[in-house]
Amino acid sequence: MERNRPVSDQPSRLTGSSPLLRMFGLLELIASKDHLVSLQTLAQETGLPKPTLHRMLASFVAEGLLIRQNDRRLYGTGPRLRDFAESLLMNATQHGARHAVLLALVEELGETCNITALSGSEVLYLDRVETNEPLRFHLSPGSRVPVHCSASGKLLLGQLPAETRRSLLMHAPLEQYTDATITDVAQLDAEVEKCGQQGYAIDNEEFIYGLVCFAVLVPGGHGRSRQCIAVQGPSFRLQPSDGDRVLPALRRAAEALRSIEVEGRAMGLAQSEASA
């Protein structure tokens, strides 16, 4: 099945001469999955002996980099590894270029804009630029909002396989923040599907009364996006009917962010080849 297909360049990373790089490669492989993995699956994908893999996995679990499910068979990313990933996203070398994209977007739309990523059952603000308008909703980079009632959250949920998404929603605290908040899992799942099909999402006062937000995905590699770019403002300035005005600008900004990411990867690859 496609779901268990190994990452194309992973085996070479796991058979290097350095034990440290092999361990890092194993973390990369597990982090690339959108589901929990077993020792048997990892052995098949990496070609490493089960005793070797078991020792590596046990070390990662002990340090909080991975978690092991209660049935003791399946492994997934742990809190320490997720914190590391979030720190990288928030403090990446491309931060200045990303921030410039947000500044230009706020200048064009006149409302607060942000870049977000999924973090468990929450949406993490990686970067944010506030509008100069006197009435605004202040949230700093590093802030988190519930995934089920944010425009970015609905789009990022749509990136997950249906089974994984429903499992997350079943265990997430679907708190009712306003009259418009969707707390029914089936209804929310249908809303997520609709947002994915139309290519954007709207938070129409679902988290805070009087706050409207539009979001689009930042195009990612391998057909999957890990980030969104969004604009938000008070409902008397930003309406759900304003899509024709704000969506083209959001999509241009999303493409600019994708280009920054591609350029960063190319530079990193060139530097790696030069030092080899």
Residues 8, 19: Cα–Cα separation, whole Å: 20
Task: Tell me the C-alpha to C-alpha distance, in Å, between residue 233 and each of 112, 211, 245.
Answer: 7, 6, 14
Give the pLDDT band (50/70/90) at residue 74: confident
Which runs of consecutive H residues, i.e. helices, occur in 50-134? 50-62, 79-90, 95-109
For 128-139, what is each residue's pLDDT tens digit? 999 988 877 777
How many Cβ atoms sit within 10 Å of the Cβ of residue 241?
A: 9
- 92-266: CATH topology is Beta-Lactamase (3.30.450)
265: three-class secondary structure by DSSP: helix
CB 125 within 8 Å of CB 89: no
Residues 165, 189: Cα–Cα separation, whole Å: 8
User: What would be the CATH architecture of the domain defined by 2-78?
Assistant: Orthogonal Bundle (1.10)
Indicate the residue type of 196.
Answer: G
Tell me phi and psi for residue 203, to 5 degrees: -100, 100
DSSP secondary structure code for residue 162 in this structure: H
Residue of higher predicted confidence among 241 and 269: 241
User: Which pTM was predicted?
Assistant: 0.69
Domain with CATH 1.10.10.10 in the chain: 2-78
Domain with CATH 3.30.450.40 in the chain: 92-266
Q: For the purposes of burial, counting CB atoms within 10 Å of the CB of 86, is it exposed (0-12), middle (13-18) or buried (19 or more)?
A: middle
Tell me phi and psi for residue 47, to 5 degrees: 80, 5
- The average pLDDT across 244-249 equals 96
Residues 219, 58: Cα–Cα separation, whole Å: 35
Give the pLDDT band (50/70/90) at residue 247: very high
Is pLDDT of 140 > 50?
A: yes
The top-scoring range by mean pLDDT among 40-54, 96-110, 140-154 is 96-110
Is pLDDT of 2 > 50?
A: no
Beta strand residue intervals within the chain, DSSP E = 37-38, 66-68, 74-77, 112-119, 122-129, 144-146, 201-204, 211-218, 227-234
pLDDT of residue 149: 93
For 22-31, what is each residue's pLDDT tens digit? 788 888 787 7
Closest CA to 241 of 216, 212, 215: 212
pLDDT of residue 16: 56
CB 223 within 8 Å of CB 258: no
Between β-strands 211-218 and 227-234, what pairing exists: parallel, antiparallel or unpaired?
A: antiparallel
pLDDT of residue 134: 80
Residue of higher predicted confidence among 5 and 99: 99
pLDDT of residue 231: 97
Closest CA to 230 of 209, 207, 253: 253
For 154-212, what is each residue's pLDDT tens digit? 999 988 888 888 888 888 889 999 999 999 999 999 999 999 899 999 999 999 999 99
Residues 142, 10: Cα–Cα separation, whole Å: 31
